[in-house]
Amino acid sequence: MSLNNEFKPKIVAFCCNWCSYAGADLAGSSRLAYPADVKIIRVPCSCRVNPMFILRAFEKGADGVIMCGCHPGDCHYSTGNYYARRRMTLLFSMLDYLGIERARTRVEWVSAAEGVKFSQTMNEFVEDIRKLGKNVRLEDLRCRN
């Protein structure tokens, strides 16, 4: 095995309670494997994900952050994922500016019935992150001694 394959990325997945978290549950009960590197945080809606949370994850050493919500039009709260989508678009361009590769962040819409999609998405995302390797940690240089 090459060294690259032994790299264990830290990946944070924000999943909305109504669609994606349920989709992840379905992936689980259908035994659709994806790497253990993905750790899921449950939020009520994708619109609850503050861009600050994603920045914090990168600050704390995450190698990738993925946010999953209901498909556009299917949000449990009607409009939440639309806000999330716009916020993430802005955040991603900022992350790009900060020098974090675009592929380290991702937004996916996964419904409660899409266990297969959830598992596939996670497999793909982890594969992408593994290829990118360890992330350069976001940090405030002023805090360095």
Partner 1 sequence: MQRIGVFVCHCGSNIAGTVDVKRVVEAIRTEPGVIHAEDYPYMCSEAGQQLIAKAIEEHKLTGIVVCSCSPRMHEATFRKAAANAGINSFMVEIANIREHCSWIHKDVEEGTEKAVILARAAIAKLNLDTPLQPGESRVVKRALVIGGGIAGIQSALDIADAGYEVDIVEKTPSIGGRMSQLDKTFPTLDCSACILTPKMVEAAAHEKINIYTYSEVEKVSGFVGDFKVDIRKKARYVDSTKCTGCGLCQEKCPSKKAPSEFNRGLNTRSAIYTPFAQAIPNVPVIDTENCLKFKTGKCGICQKICAAGAVDYEQQDEIITREYGAIVVATGFDTIKLDKYDEYAYSQSKDVVTSLELERIMNAAGPTKGHLERLSDGKAPKNIVFIQCVGSRCSDGRGKSYCSKICCMYTAKHAMLIRDKYPDTNVTVFYIDVRTPGKNFDEFYRRAVEDYHVNYVKGQVGKVMPQPDGSLLVQGVDLIDNKQIKMNADMVVLATAIEPDPSVRNIATMLTASIDTNNFLTESHAKLRPVESPTAGVFLSGVCQGPKDIPETVAQAGAAAVKAIGLLAKDKLTTNPCTAQADILLCNGCSTCANVCPYGAISYENIQINDHGIREERRVAVVNNALCQGCGACTVACPSGAMDLQGFSNRQILAEVDAICR
Q: Cα(50)–Cα(63) distance, rounded to whole angstroms?
A: 18
Restricted to residues 40-99, the positions that interact with partner 1 (CB under 8 A) are 40-45, 47-53, 56-57, 60-62, 70, 73-80, 83, 87
Choose, by CB under 8 A, the member of 94, 113, 127, 134 that binds partner 1: 113
Give the residue with the Cβ less far from partner 1, 70 or 100: 70
What is the per-residue burial (b if ≥16 Cβ within 10 Å, else e) of 33-46? ebeebbebeebebb
How far, CA to CA in Å, does 52 sit from each of 11, 24, 88?
16, 24, 11
Q: Cα(115)–Cα(144) distance, rounded to whole angstroms?
A: 44
Give the residue with the Cβ less far from partner 1, 25 or 101: 25
Interface residues toward partner 1, by CB under 8 A = 10, 12, 18-19, 21-22, 24-25, 27-29, 31-34, 36, 39-45, 47-53, 56-57, 60-62, 70, 73-80, 83, 87, 111-114, 119
